[in-house]
Amino acid sequence: MTGPLSSRLATLCDEIVARVGSEAGGQVRHIGDRLHEPLRVAIAGRLKAGKSTLVNALIGRRVAPTAVGECTRVVTRFRYGPADRVDVVCRDGSRQSLPLDSDGMIPQRLGVPAARVAYVDVMLTSEKLQSLTVVDTPGLASTDTQVSMRAEEAVGTSTAPFDADIDADSAGEVAAAEAVVYVFTQAVRADDVRALEAFRAASARLASSPINALGVFGKIDTLVGGAEDPWPVAGPLAGQQAALLARTVSEVIPVAGLLAETGESGRLTSADRDALRALAHADDLGVLLASVDLFRTRPAPVSPEQRERLLDLLDLYGIGYAIAQLVDDPGLSTGELVRRLVAASGFPRLRHTLDDVLTWRSDAIKAGWALARLEKLAGHTGGRGDREAIRDAVEQLLREPGYHRLRLLEAAQRVATGTVAMPVEWEQELTRLATSEDPRWILRLPEAGVDELADAALEAANRWRVYAVAGAGPAQSRVAQVAHRGFYLLSKQVRP
C-alpha cells in the first residue's frame, strides 16, 4: 500500500525521532504513523449537497445518516477495522464506543453533547475501506462567516468555511485529509467558488489543488423533471463547471449519488425488482412518473408503502430507468438490474478516478503532506537543536533525486491554482511531469524509443532553463528551475 516516497519518509521520521527530544519526537512519530495508513479523502460541499449519500456509496454500506432533516453536524471518519465500531472522540481526548443502530447506521444520538465532540471515528469491516479512508464533513457555510482566530492559532487551520459551528479539533481532522472531493449541485455560484477557496486555505498544504481535488456534480437526476434522462444536460453542465473550477479541481464528475448508494450498498431487493416490474404494466406510466406527487397518489398496481420505498431508494429517474430496463428484459436479475443502475448513476467513473488517479498519486501526496508537516515542525517545535535536526533531515532528503517529485508537485500546484501565472502549454507540461512517471505520456511521444525519449526530455529541460533565465518574474523562474531539473532527471531515468 505504501509507495516508495512515503516509505522513505517513514524511515526518515524514525531517524529524526532517535535524534530529538520526546515532545518533538512524539509529533514526528505521529506523522510517520500516518504514512502507513490508506489515503484519506474528505468529502466537502454545501449543506444537503448529497455528501453523506456519496460517502455511503464509497463505503458500499449505508452507515452515514442521510434522511431529510438529518444533517451531518460532526466530522465523521470512516476507516477499515477488524470489527464494526463507532467511537465518539471527545475534545478532551476521551473515547466512548457506541454500537451501530438496528439499521446498521450511526446512531442519531451520540450520547455526548455535540459541542464536546471532536469527531466520530467509525471502523468498519468494509473491504472498500482497505485502500481508502473517507471523511464526511458538515456542509460548507456561505462565505461571510467570521474566521475564528482562536481556532486558527490552535491548529494552524481555520474553521471558517463550515456552516456548523465546528471546533478546531474537527477542522483539524478534515485538514488532515490528503485529498478532497467537492460535491456541487446545480450551478456553481461565485459563492461556491469562494467557499471552496476558504476550505482550501483551511486544508493542509497539499490537500487541495487540481492535483488531488476532484469535483462531483451531484444529484444530477434532479436536474430535469420527472423520470427524464438527465445525462444530456448533466454532461455539458459538468464540463462548464470544470472550466469554472479549473484552478480548484482536476475534473468534475457527474453522479446520481442516490442511485450509487442504493446500488453499491445492496439495498435493492428482489421484492423491489418485482414491484418495479409490476409498475411497468401500469396503464398511465408516463403520468405516474411525471412527478413525485403523482407517483405517490395515482392509482397503481403497487402499494403506497412500496412506492414510497422505491422513491427513497431510487427517486423518479431511477425508478423510470429501472422500469425501462425491465420492459426491455422482463427476466432481468436483481444483480444485473443493480449493476445497470450503478452504471447509470455515473459512479463507476468516480470510483475509477479515485482508485487509479488519486491512489496512484497518493504516495507523493502523502509524502508531500508529511514533508509539509515536518517543515512546519522545523519552524516551531521544542528547542532549537530539535528544529535544526528536523530541518537538516528534510533538506538532505530533498536533495535525493526521487524527492524532486515533491518539489514538482508543489510547483505544479502553485501554477495550477493560479498563484504563479504561466502560459497554458507550459502549465500542462509541468502538470504531466509532476503527476506521472511515464516518460511517453509526459513527453507526448507514445511510440518513442529510449533515445528519442531521452533527447526529448533533454530538449524540454533546456527549454525550461531558458525560460527560467529569460521567462518572466522570480516566481516563474523558481518554478521553471524545478521543471528544468525534473526533465533533466527524467532524461537520466530514461537513459541512465
Residue ranges binding Mg ion (CB under 5 A): 51-52, 72
Q: Looking only at residues 131 through 190 of this chain, which bind ligand GTP when binding is defined by CB under 6 A?
A: 139
Q: Looking at 64-72, 74-82, 190-198, 366-374, which segment touches ligand GTP (CB under 6 A)?
A: 64-72
Least distance CB 51 / ligand GTP (angstroms): 3
Residue with smaller CB distance to ligand GTP, 67 or 287: 67
Q: Helix axis angle, 474-494 relative to 424-435, nearest 10°? A: 50
| Nearest-angstrom CA–CA distance, 65 and 72 | 8
Query: Does residue 262 interact with ligand GTP by CB under 6 A?
Result: no
- Answer with the entry of Mg ion, ligand GTP, none that 257 interacts with (C-beta below 5 to 8 A by kind): ligand GTP
Among 3, 15, 37, 47, binds ligand GTP (CB under 6 A): 47
User: Which of 13, 211, 238, 258 contacts ligand GTP by CB under 6 A?
Assistant: 258
254 contacts 235 by C-beta, under 8 angstroms: yes
Closest of 137, 123, 117, 124 to residue 54, by C-alpha: 137
Q: Which one of Mg ion, ligand GTP, none interacts with residue 470, CB within 5 to 8 A by kind?
A: none
CB 359 within 8 A of CB 132: yes
* Local structure of 140: helix, strand or coil: strand
3-class state of residue 422 by DSSP: coil
| Burial label, 330 (beta-carbon count in 10 A; 0-12, 13-18, 19+) | exposed
Cell of 8: 522513505
Q: Is 254 in the site for ligand GTP (CB under 6 A)?
A: no
Q: Is 68 in the site for ligand GTP (CB under 6 A)?
A: yes
Interface region with ligand GTP, contact rule CB under 6 A, candidates 51-59, 117-125, 197-205, 292-300: 51-59
Q: With binding defined as CB under 6 A, does residue 52 bind ligand GTP?
A: yes
Is 29 in contact with 13 (CB distance < 8 Å)? yes
Q: How far is the CB of 61 from ligand GTP (least distance, A)?
A: 14
User: Which one of Mg ion, ligand GTP, none interacts with residue 203, CB within 5 to 8 A by kind?
Assistant: none
Write down the least CB distance from residue 288 to ligand GTP, Å.
Answer: 17
> Any alpha helices (H) in 74-213, and if so which ranges?
149-155, 168-175, 190-202
In the complex with ligand GTP, which residue's Cβ is closer, 51 or 414? 51
d(CA 339, CA 264): 9
CA-based max dimension of the chain? 81
Judged by CB under 6 A, the stretch of 46-54, 334-342, 460-468, 472-480 that binds ligand GTP is 46-54
Site for ligand GTP contains 209 (CB under 6 A): no
218 part of the interface to ligand GTP, by CB under 6 A: yes
Residue 172, contacted partner among Mg ion, ligand GTP, none, CB below 5-8 A by kind: none
Considering only residues 61, 219, 273, 277, which one is a binding residue for ligand GTP as defined by CB under 6 A?
A: 219
> Which residue number, 13 or 183, has a Cβ lying nearer to Mg ion?
183
Least separation in angstroms between residue 222's CB and ligand GTP is 5
Residue 224 within binding range of ligand GTP, rule CB under 6 A: no
**C-alpha–C-alpha distance, residues 185 and 170, integer Å:** 25
Residue reference for cell 456561505:
142
Dist. CA 88–CA 97, nearest whole Å: 6
Q: What is the DSSP letter of 111?
A: S
Q: Which does 49 bind (CB under 5 to 8 A by kind): Mg ion, ligand GTP, none?
A: ligand GTP
Closer residue to ligand GTP in complex, CB, 32/65: 65
| Residue 222 near ligand GTP by CB under 6 A | yes
The reply on whether position 48 binds ligand GTP by CB under 6 A is yes
Nearest to 354 by CA among 128, 161, 152: 128
Q: Phi first, then psi: what are they for 437, rounded to 5°? A: -115, 5
The residue type of 469 is V
CB 384 within 8 A of CB 25: no
Q: Which residues of 30-43 are buried (b: 16+ CB within 10 A; e: fewer)?
A: ebbebbeebbbbbb
Listed ranges 25-33, 125-133, 199-207, 253-261: which one lies at the site for ligand GTP (CB under 6 A): 253-261
Nearer to Mg ion, 66 or 476 (CB): 66
Q: Using CB atoms within 10 Å of the CB of residue 379, give its burial: 0 to 12 exposed, 13 to 18 middle, 19+ buried.
A: exposed
Angstrom distances, CA of residue 349 to CA of 72, 107, 360: 26, 31, 16
How many helices and strands in the chain, by DSSP H and E?
Answer: 21, 9
Rank residues 20 and 181 by Cβ distance to ligand GTP and give the closer one.
Answer: 181
Give whichever of 210 and 218 is closer to ligand GTP, judged by the CB atom.
Answer: 218
Cβ neighbors of 18 (< 8 A, separation 6 or more) are: none
Cα gap 173→224, rounded to integer Å: 37
Among 210, 230, 257, 320, binds ligand GTP (CB under 6 A): 257
Per CB under 6 A, the list member of 34, 40, 51, 407 interacting with ligand GTP is 51
* Total of residues contacting ligand GTP (CB under 6 A): 22
Q: Of these, 39, 49, 57, 160, which contacts ligand GTP (CB under 6 A)?
A: 49
Q: In the complex, which residues of this chain contact ligand GTP (CB under 6 A)?
A: 45, 47-53, 66-68, 71-72, 139, 218-219, 221-222, 256-258, 315
